[in-house]
Structures are given as C-alpha cells and as structure tokens.
Structure 1
C-alpha cells in the first residue's frame, strides 16, 4: 500500500473516532442533528480553550471525560 493511502486511512479513522465522541456524548441527539449548533458549540469550546481560563476549562473537561470513559468501561 502506498504511503498516501496509509496516511489517508489513518486520517479517516481519526475523524471517525472524533465523530463517535460527539455521538457518544449525546450531542447529536440533544442538538437534533443540527450541524450549525454543533459546530457553533465546538467553536465556543475552542475559543474558551484559547482564553485566559483555558487551562481551567481543559482540566475540568479532561477530568469529566476520563470519568465518563471509566464509568462506561470504554477507552478513549
């Protein structure tokens, strides 16, 4: 297999895994599959991480995510 094919498959797998997290968190269902709402929420999250309270948000959200993975017996 060519290098670009391997890289493309790795990227595709990565994107699918990220999409699964959005579904697993219940965002798709809660947002009624509204892509603009989901995208807006992700933009807000990115802005929060860039802001002066970014480290606090990162720590809080990381802990919450780790707890959710542990509670559900899932791996990241």
Structure 2
C-alpha cells in the first residue's frame, strides 16, 4: 500500500518540526555523502576481488606452463 499525498505531507511537517528547516539540507547532504562513500567502498571491494582473481589466474597459468615445460624436458 503506497502512502497518500496527505500522509507524506504529515511526515514532512513532522520532520521539519523535529529538525528545523535549516538542518534538513545538512541531513540530506550527510546522507548523500554516506551513500557516495558506500558506493565507492563497494566498487573498491569489487576491483580488489577482480585483481585478486587475475593474480590467481596468472599464478595458475604459470604453474601449468611450468608443468608442461618440465614434461617436455623429461
């Protein structure tokens, strides 16, 4: 069930009464900054996982190449 326009206005009025009109932009800026930092951290984690997988794949390739070279020499 979606909130009606009246319910949204009541919630906004309560927020303005609790925090004051001057604090609301500060709160929004803080929330935006928090979301931005969260997304940045998520991207860094994904990049780190990709880099780790690339290193693991290269190491596995080197092991396989070394094994093939040793087999040819034997």
> So what's the TM-score if we normalise by structure 2?
0.32
User: Larger % of helix: which?
Assistant: 2
Q: Which structure would you say has the larger Rg?
A: 2
Greater RCO, 1 or 2 (C-alpha within 8 Å, sep 6+): 2
